[in-house]
Amino acid sequence: MSDMANERDARAGVTGGGAGVDERVSVLVGDRLCVSCGFNLAGQSVVREPHYRMLIVRCPECATAASLQEYPVLGKWANRWGGVLAAGMILLTLLLALGTAGTIFGMSYAVSRVASKPLTDLIAKEHSAWAKASRETQNSSQMERATAALAVARAEAEAATAAAAAEPGSAELKARADAAALSLSQAEQRITTLQVTIDQQVQWQTYYDTSWVSIDWLAQQDTGDLIGRARAEGSKHLSAAFSLWLLLACIVFALGVLWGVVMLHARARRMALVCVVILAIAAVFAAIQRAGGGVGTTIMGTTQMELTSDVATRMLGVLPLALSAGLAALPLFLGMISGRPLARLYVRLVLPPRLRGPLATLWIADGLLPPSAR
């Protein structure tokens, strides 16, 4: 009996510092709540207790021993639910990637529109002056013709009236006088209608002549000359575009923080790869937008018109959009690498120590000790 006791004591004391001392084996990876106080035991030391040689984890909060040797409570459904959760995580990541890429593309497109505002204003000014001069020339010609027709109709009416007055009994002369009077009335009505039309054109030409550009006029313009002249007035609009890009950077940084928490085990290299993939998706969105047209057109009379802002954006090309989207990768990457540190800071700020245990994964993922319960 003494030999068996000595053998048991010797086996318990190997690497354990003697009988009655727990032997540290490894560290618990994964969430596991204490059955007594509910503290998350993730990151705690896995030890072999000296009496029964069983693997346990002692709760640092209440010292309750949790055995690691137990039967699974879900049976065959454990793997099934794990597959469902994994599929849900993949779907969430895909939706987050599409949302981030869409945000970068949408706001970068807005930045490019603001950056093209000087060129838009110049095109609107040039086209408005051309349209006004063309319209005035056309209206003057129409008014001259209508005035000449009115003079002819008035002369014919006066002559017919005089002839009918000279021979009161002639039915034919009276009919000619009535027809001449009707023609005179129609000529006067034509003058009035033309004047009303000209007045209406003056009212709405300010909007249409600046917001819409004639395709025929556009084909006669020197694109390089327009862009060169627009650069001289571009400083204030560039500052507005930069302010809008700062807003984009803040939103993308917040999305990057979310990415940093979602990708718990990702390091800087993998995060950089994710940034490249997101920019590639944003580029696909831009290609789809350009392939689909994305240009507002209409027809006024026989003239095809195009939105001035779309014309300016097309003239400048994809450089403003690509530059804004490319620079957005920087706040996105910074948000990713600072996501978990910011999440840990937030947890420490809003949760008391005893409630931080279930979120210990935020510490363990970066090789840090779990948050203390005190």
Over residues 327-354, the mean pLDDT reads: 92
Over residues 292-313, the mean pLDDT reads: 69
Q: Which domains does the chain have, with CATH numbers?
A: 2-67 (no CATH), 96-117+226-364 (no CATH), 133-212 (1.10.287)
Give pLDDT, residue 124.
83
Over residues 58-68, the mean pLDDT reads: 84
If we measure between CA atoms, which residue out of 359, 199, 215 comes closest to residue 298?
Answer: 215
Mean residue pLDDT of the chain comes to 80
Percent over 70 (pLDDT), the chain: 84
**Whether the model pTM is above 0.85:** no
- Residue 131 makes CB contacts below 8 A (sequence gap 6+) with 205, 209, 214, 217
How would residue 308 be classed by pLDDT, with cut points 50, 70 and 90?
confident
Convert the pLDDT of each residue in 238-259 to its tens digit. 777 888 899 999 999 999 999 9
Give pLDDT, residue 23.
80
How would residue 301 be classed by pLDDT, with cut points 50, 70 and 90?
low
Convert the pLDDT of each residue in 136-147 to its tens digit. 787 788 888 888
Dihedral sign, Cα of residue 154, residue 160, residue 163, residue 168: negative
Q: Where are the beta strands (DSSP E) in the chain?
A: 23-27, 45-48, 55-58, 65-67, 212-214, 297-300, 303-307
Convert the pLDDT of each residue in 71-130 to its tens digit. 455 556 667 777 888 898 899 999 999 999 999 999 898 888 888 888 888 888 888 888
Give pLDDT, residue 14.
40
Greater pLDDT, 109 or 292: 109
User: Given a cut of 80, is residue 7 above it in pLDDT?
Assistant: no
If we measure between CA atoms, which residue out of 301, 85, 86, 112 comes closest to residue 208?
Answer: 301
